[in-house]
Structure 1
Amino acid sequence: MRINKYLVFTIITLCSFFAKAQENKGRGIQLPTDNEFKEIFKIQSNYVQGGQKIYNLTSSVYGDANAPTFDLRDINGLTSVKDQGSCGSCWAFSAVATIESSNLLINKKYLDLSEQSLVNCVADSQGCEGGWYDHAYSWLLLNNKDVALEDEIPYKNSDLSCSLYEGNSNVKIANYNFLIGNPSIEEIKNALVRHGALAVALYSNNTQFSNYKGGVIKALNSAPDHAVTIVGWDDTQEAWLIKNSWGTAWGINGFGWVGYNTTGITAFSWVDVTRNDVIEESELEPKSDLDLVEIDFVHVLGSLQVHQELYVKIDDDLVKIFGMNKKEIKYHNKVYVSKGKHEFEIITKSIIKKDNKKSMIFGISLGKINVTEDVSYKLVYKSRVNESNVFKLSLEADDIKIGE
């Protein structure tokens, strides 16, 4: 069989091109100093204060942390692979990938968000010279603008000046945190099924990672130099499924497997976005069964509130979660139950903004209720619990009127 020399030359040239392109891919992790870690922890702690345990109680669960395998792609919890080019902006791509994943899981919206906006504006990072994804979360948390869409601030593979923008994505940060110390495999899995993709740092400057095409990367643990996202696991392979930001030519269409506790993998962070208002009539679930009664938990955002999420649990078998984001709107958050006595648990997670500082407050109400007909209650924050940012909630007769 005669070999086409031109074809061989073309293949070799293309392989050389792609290998060279891979060598030029950016990395860009800048590990925070001890003081910077303390400042990140302080920002998050001051924001959520004593309510983290209550916050965790209301987290949705999108998978089984005890399952032998898990893949966010199987539950429509992941956006497409992107390419950071030669810019050291992996930290921004990792942050955006987690935000996009959270938005898909919480709001069922597939959005392409802007890494360039973070490269341009996150002052605690150095743009294409490297940065840290928790700095991006902190900046977004304190900034009350939407996360920009890719079409609004497209990626340019370079540093540009920061400019203000009026975002149209309806994506804001509700909360973020990181797994402290050296978390167990079980802790990482639990975070993944509760929050979606996790930002993580690892050691990529090795041939196993750079030239990866399949199998499991088990490079020696060394100082991390690159940020990716964990998007699943496989206990049979004893490996995490990662999504990289070097385009689809790397790995298995941009994804790869990294062994548990190898390759310097560390610094696991999660983020949650705010829940959107109900926008589809079908989501309102009108009462169709005449034997059911309607309970309407009404609320109007207060002068300091920029967001509130309402978690309603009835008799352990009915859970509803509602988002509220607009001023001067009376929200009707309805659930339907059978007539009679019921146990209920109501938790609110509210973001307030005062003097350009944002923080969370929480409300909680537990008790029993006897309903025989449709009823409407307003939610009222009462006394603090142990001088914390957690308040007792009271259900009172609905007398809210708008525009009077």
Structure 2
Amino acid sequence: MKPIIKNLSYWFIASFFAIAVMFSSCSKEENFGPETQAADEVTENVDFSAMVGGYIPTPKDVYEKIPLASDPVLKSTQAVKYLTCPSVGNQGADGACVGWATAYAARSIMTGAQTYFSPAYVYNQIKISDCASGSYPVDAINLIYNQGVCTWSYMPYQSGYCYTQPNSSQRQNAANYKISGAYRVNINYSSIRSQIAAGRPVVVAGRVDNAFQNLGYNRILNYVSGSGGGHAYCVVGYNDDYRCFRILNSWGTSWSTNGYGWISYDIVGQLCAEAYVMY
């Protein structure tokens, strides 16, 4: 597998100005029983300000230049698989979802959640302006490829402290945890499922609407409006019995099912605009 396009952040900068004009495990639940959440069951008149994302869409021409992952070929797969995850966290008021999805979720899962990584190390370096601003997923991936990412203990995340840049000690620690590369993943049920079956978390991003933000406890999201703000999160499991993916979000344990959510296989192509796997 080849690394993601090198120095892709330069493409983003050029595109941005040209346009000028976002230690617990997720072990298998014994009483898993999600139910489909229909569009008419979504709570209306919700204060969206409490739900912060921060994903900025990659320009199409740049995204399509990223190498595409081939689907892992496995002799057999489990009908239900949940990857071991770090504890559910909360990005707070910062637009740091990309840092949480890539560094905290995916990179930590790559160690079997034996080590937790700092979303602040990544987000603080790639945000486009202030703490309310977002970032590009590929800028995060390129940073983890080039610099690595330090552990949570070296640089704990604090909402509102996005201007703090890594010091020499944090950078030295980060260098121990570089990734070898990354691919984009076909955005369909079978490709994402095959990556999870092979033990690889998938970072996804797209617009999230009222239905997503107010997803009920143990409910499966099967409705997408295509509107809403940009948000990134991590696919960390699947369940063929209920035809859904399990996602790890960064909105704290009060969101949906103790901080996790269930997304129907049938809507993943509509919900997600980008998908990546690191190695």
Does TM, scored on the shorter chain, surpass 0.5? yes
Matched, 1:236 2:241: yes
State the number of aligned residues.
Answer: 226
Quote the Cα distance in structure 2 between the aligned partners of 1:255 and 1:102: 18
The CA RMSD measured in Å over matched residues stands at: 3.0
Q: Which amino acid aligns with 2:204?
A: V
Matched, 1:71 2:82: yes
Which of 144, 150, 157 matches 2:152?
Answer: 150
1:126-180 deviation per Cα after TM superposition (whole angstroms, max 9, x unaligned): 764111222211122122xx41122222212132143343343632211211114
1:278-299 deviation per Cα after TM superposition (whole angstroms, max 9, x unaligned): xxxxxxxxxxxxxxxxxxxxxx
**What SS does the corresponding residue of 1:225 show, helix, strand or coil?**
strand
The Cα of 1:200 is off from its aligned counterpart by 0.8
Matched, 1:258 2:240: no
Q: Which residue of 2 aligns with 1:226?
A: 231
The Cα of 1:194 is off from its aligned counterpart by 2.5
Q: TM-score, normalised by structure 2?
A: 0.70
Matched, 1:34 2:60: yes
Indicate conservation of the 8 Å contact 1:88/1:127, yes or no: yes
Matches within 5 A, 1:307-322: none
**What SS does the corresponding residue of 1:173 show, helix, strand or coil?**
coil
Q: Which residue of 2 aligns with 1:215?
A: 219
The Cα of 1:241 is off from its aligned counterpart by 0.8
Q: Which amino acid aligns with 2:56?
A: Q
Quote the Cα distance in structure 2 between the aligned partners of 1:126 and 1:141: 24
Matches within 5 A, 1:2-17: none
**What SS does the corresponding residue of 1:249 show, helix, strand or coil?**
coil
Structure with the higher strand share, 1 or 2: 1
Matches within 5 A, 1:120-139: 120-122=124-126, 128-139=132-143
Q: TM-score, normalised by structure 1?
A: 0.50
Which of 183, 186, 193 matches 1:189?
Answer: 193
The Cα of 1:83 is off from its aligned counterpart by 0.4
Quote the Cα distance in structure 2 between the aligned partners of 1:37 and 1:207: 27
Quote the Cα distance in structure 1 between the aligned partners of 2:208 and 2:214: 7
Quote the Cα distance in structure 2 between the aligned partners of 1:204 and 1:188: 19
Relative to structure 1, is the Cα distance of residues 118 and 125 closer, same or farther in structure 2, using a 3 angstrom cutoff? farther
Q: Which residue of 2 aligns with 1:354?
A: none
Q: Which residue of 2 aligns with 1:269?
A: 276
Matched, 1:102 2:105: no
Q: Which residue of 1 aligns with 2:181?
A: 175
Q: Which residue of 2 aligns with 1:165?
A: 168
Q: Which amino acid aligns with 1:190?
A: S
Relative to structure 1, is the Cα distance of residues 200 and 125 closer, same or farther in structure 2, using a 3 angstrom cutoff? farther
Matches within 5 A, 1:199-214: 199-214=203-218
Indicate conservation of the 8 Å contact 2:123/2:140, yes or no: no
Q: Which amino acid aligns with 1:219?
A: Y
Relative to structure 1, is the Cα distance of residues 230 and 185 closer, same or farther in structure 2, using a 3 angstrom cutoff? same
Q: Which amino acid aligns with 2:119?
A: E
User: Would you identify which runs of 4 or more consecutive aligned residues in structure 1 move more than 4 Å?
Assistant: 123-127
Indicate conservation of the 8 Å contact 1:82/1:246, yes or no: yes
Quote the Cα distance in structure 2 between the aligned partners of 1:115 and 1:227: 13
Identity fraction in percent: 19
The Cα of 1:26 is off from its aligned counterpart by 1.2
The structure, 1 or 2, with the larger RCO (C-alpha pairs under 8 Å, 6+ apart) is: 2
Structure with the higher helix share, 1 or 2: 2
Relative to structure 1, is the Cα distance of residues 164 and 197 closer, same or farther in structure 2, using a 3 angstrom cutoff? same
1:78-108 deviation per Cα after TM superposition (whole angstroms, max 9, x unaligned): 211110011111111000110111122xxxx
Q: Which residue of 2 aligns with 1:372?
A: none
Relative to structure 1, is the Cα distance of residues 135 and 78 closer, same or farther in structure 2, using a 3 angstrom cutoff? same
Q: Which amino acid aligns with 2:178?
A: K
Q: Which residue of 2 aligns with 1:248?
A: 253
